[in-house]
Chain A
Amino acid sequence: MSSEARQDGEVRVFSDYTRDFEEDADVVVVGSGPSGSVVAYELAKAGHKVVLIEEGPPFTPQEFRADGNISMARTMREGGLRSTTGTFMPILQAICLGGGSLINSAMCVRPPAFIFDEWSTRYELDHTTRADLDPHYDAVSEFLGIAPTPEDVQGPRNLLFRQGCEALGIASEPVDRNVRGCRGSGECFSGCRARAKQSMDISYIPEAMKFGARVLTSLQVQGVLGEGRRVRGVEGRVVEPFSGRTSHAFRVRARWVVLAAGCMATPVLLQKSGNLANASGQVGQNLQFHPGSAVAGVFPESIDPIFGGTQSYQSLAFLEEGFKLETMWSAPAALAVRMPGVGAELVHRFGELPRTAIWDAIASTHRSLGTVKARFRSLNPVIRWTLHPEDVKVMLRSIHVLAQIFFAAGAEKIMPGVGGLPEEMHSREEAEVLRDYAIRPADLVTASSHVFCTTRMHGDPAQGVVDEEGRCHGYDNLYIADTGIFPRCPSVNPMLTVMALAHRQAQSLAERV
């Protein structure tokens, strides 16, 4: 291997790699999503030599695609078609510079204290209360300009949600987002052309580079180099965007390794690296999700649904019951997929799209567990997961509440999307069938992009993979900094929490390095 001399603080893309190469760093961070970017920035700012590796390419607005299929195929792992076995559920996971922050709706939510109290007591975590993390939430929030979505870009479909909640006495609020200067395009999921969303590729990563961080995109890490209690770096191959074809070999030698590759890729990488950090047997276990279910509601008049923040209003009123309610928008054609029927009835429903809002619920399904295992001769995972019957009831309850909110907001009908029930319901009374329906997992159409716990944090090394600082039990210099370290699903959108945890990790690491 030869060494390619590069200036510090530079980004490298696929066309820059012309031969095998090696790099040296104090810290190598694998994965440029919200947590990896925070770690890279904080450590670079502290004066350390940081290499940030990302498998996907950087996207600019010219690369965004409005078409839902094409956009997902370009920005998501396995072409946007990753799914679980057991209970079938599509899983949306990004592969691009900035990770999920490029194509999520920028929701930044702090879980209430009782979530952390549960984490502390069940998982022997003494320093992970809400109060412990608040300074880190504050630091990230200030950096990204996180603020409640202003009224002038809510748009009717978000404000109708508020109206319905108010009519029923349900607490609701505008969503805090990492957005500056939102224009209400509703394009968060395909990439913000208005450049308002502060995704990692335009916020933390350029700032990290100013402090000398080197950002190497289109590199697929295939192994962590380990030796006893210490790791020495990572190695892998250059990977061509979209095709996934691999070419030149690379190796990054580092004194500290931080895996922030995501809740699926990190355990697979550990398994492929000789079952690293798995003395507890917990790597790839305990998989949890926030499955989402959506209800469509049709209003009597056009609500201009194309305008407004993508997900700008929410209700946290049911967190203790196990679900969170929120508004939603996406590419119109992608939302049309939600419509039941075939033939003329289906096309008729497309005609109702200008009058249609879609609201969703994410459920905290901590009884529904799964596993992640490396697929043979592949870095893609086999994901087994089963939706627990009690969690299905929670999800049905959330659909019932959404139906009530729709009718309270003036909807003339809803489409609950529950198999075995009428495709349309026209009144609150009719929707009462949702209250006691004997639902089965297969009756729900669900999807998730919130994935947790596959390398969970636990005070007891026999029961978890990392400690409270994210350091792998039994290792001096191997850290994990993605949602895999959550001991349990957090009940709210996880981006801000994983960034706060990463901020704390980075501060601790900065002292050690």
Chain B
Amino acid sequence: MGGIVLIVLAVFAARRVWLGYPATGAEFAVLAPREEAFLQAAAEALFPPHADLPVSGGQADLPGYADRYLAVLPRRQRTLIRALFALFEHATLLWPGKGRGGFKRFSALSPEQRLGVLRDWQSSSLALRRLCLTALKAILILGYVGHPESLAALELAPWKIDSPRVEADFLYPPIGGHRDQISRVGEPLETAPTAPPLVPGLDQEAP
């Protein structure tokens, strides 16, 4: 009897964790389809369409952003971040969404249920839950607000800066490169840069 219960639980767990995620065709260096589905669902809930910003979370390719971020993290930290995604995806077993089907994994909830779940994490009396939400938000906000269209709409687009050559630029090759890749073009700056202060609008990149 115990064995049957274990088998049923294992099938349930496997089905919940691995099965039923749609193939989107997107290619990632790190992310699995289940993580892509979670991130897309979280992005849509966190950043709905709004008049102040031209793209919504659902349009900002945040799974792609998260994948690029994970790819440059050390292995241990990458594992922790992926565990965070899995936690949110399946913590609905402990803290379900409101209404019917609230125990489904996060990415299978309705948009209203997802927002409610995130609000629960935000207002939780457990500091650790609030902290986890802050960590998730931190990853996705950097991708969303850092999206070129978001920054342009907020008049916060990056500066156009042509870096002057300093002496040190003739010493260091590109990271991972060889010293024959050091560009010898131009003279090194001998004194302090003399370019004037930047001007918002004028010296920012065009959207």
A15 touches B48 (CB 8 A): no
Tell me whether A88 is interfacial, beta carbon within 8 Å: yes
Residues of A within 8 A of B150 (CB): 333, 350
Out of A73, A78, A307, name the residue touching B72 (CB < 8 Å): A73
Out of B48, B142, B179, B192, name the residue touching A344 (CB < 8 Å): B48
Residues of A within 8 A of B47 (CB): 343, 346-347
Closest to A191 in B: B163
Number of interface residues of A (CB under 8 A): 74
Residues of A within 8 A of B161 (CB): 183, 185, 193-194
A183 touches B196 (CB 8 A): yes
Closest to A11 in B: B171
Residues of B within 8 A of A341 (CB): 122
B80 touches A353 (CB 8 A): no
B200 touches A307 (CB 8 A): yes
Tell me whether A442 is interfacial, beta carbon within 8 Å: yes
* Cβ of A90 to closest chain B Cβ, rounded Å: 10
A153 touches B156 (CB 8 A): no
Which residue, of B144, B145, B163, has the highest number of chain A Cβ atoms within 10 A?
Answer: B145
* Cβ of B88 to closest chain A Cβ, rounded Å: 12
B193 touches A347 (CB 8 A): no
A180 touches B192 (CB 8 A): yes
* Alpha-carbon distance between A336 and B141 when the two chains are bound, in angstroms: 7
A337 touches B142 (CB 8 A): yes
Out of A152, A195, A339, name the residue touching B163 (CB < 8 Å): A195
Closest to B66 in A: A69
* Cβ of A337 to closest chain B Cβ, rounded Å: 5
A351 touches B53 (CB 8 A): yes
B168 touches A183 (CB 8 A): no
Tell me whether B172 is interfacial, beta carbon within 8 Å: yes
* Alpha-carbon distance between A346 and B45 when the two chains are bound, in angstroms: 11
A351 touches B174 (CB 8 A): no
Within 8 A of A (CB), among B164-199: 164, 166-169, 171-179, 189, 191-199
Tell me whether A326 is interfacial, beta carbon within 8 Å: no
A60 touches B200 (CB 8 A): no
| Known contacts A11-B171, A70-B68, A350-B145; is-contact A445 B74 (Cβ 8 Å) | no
Tell me whether B204 is interfacial, beta carbon within 8 Å: yes
A201 touches B168 (CB 8 A): yes
Within 8 A of B (CB), among A129-167: 145, 152-153
Closest to A62 in B: B174
Tell me whether B100 is interfacial, beta carbon within 8 Å: no
Residues of B within 8 A of A60 (CB): 168-169, 172, 174
Within 8 A of A (CB), among B86-104: none
B142 touches A68 (CB 8 A): yes
Residues of B within 8 A of A331 (CB): 142, 146
Out of B127, B139, B145, name the residue touching A419 (CB < 8 Å): B127
Tell me whether B16 is interfacial, beta carbon within 8 Å: no
Closest to A68 in B: B142
Tell me whether B131 is interfacial, beta carbon within 8 Å: yes
Tell me whether A474 is interfacial, beta carbon within 8 Å: no
Residues of A within 8 A of B48 (CB): 343-344, 347
List of 6 A-B pairs having minimum Cβ-Cβ separation, nearest first: A351-B52, A180-B192, A333-B146, A181-B193, A442-B127, A58-B172
Binding site for B on A (CB under 8 A): 11, 13-16, 57-63, 66-70, 73-74, 78-79, 81, 88, 97, 145, 152-153, 180-185, 187, 193-196, 201-202, 205-206, 209, 241-244, 302, 304-307, 331-334, 336-337, 339-344, 346-348, 350-351, 353-354, 419, 442, 445
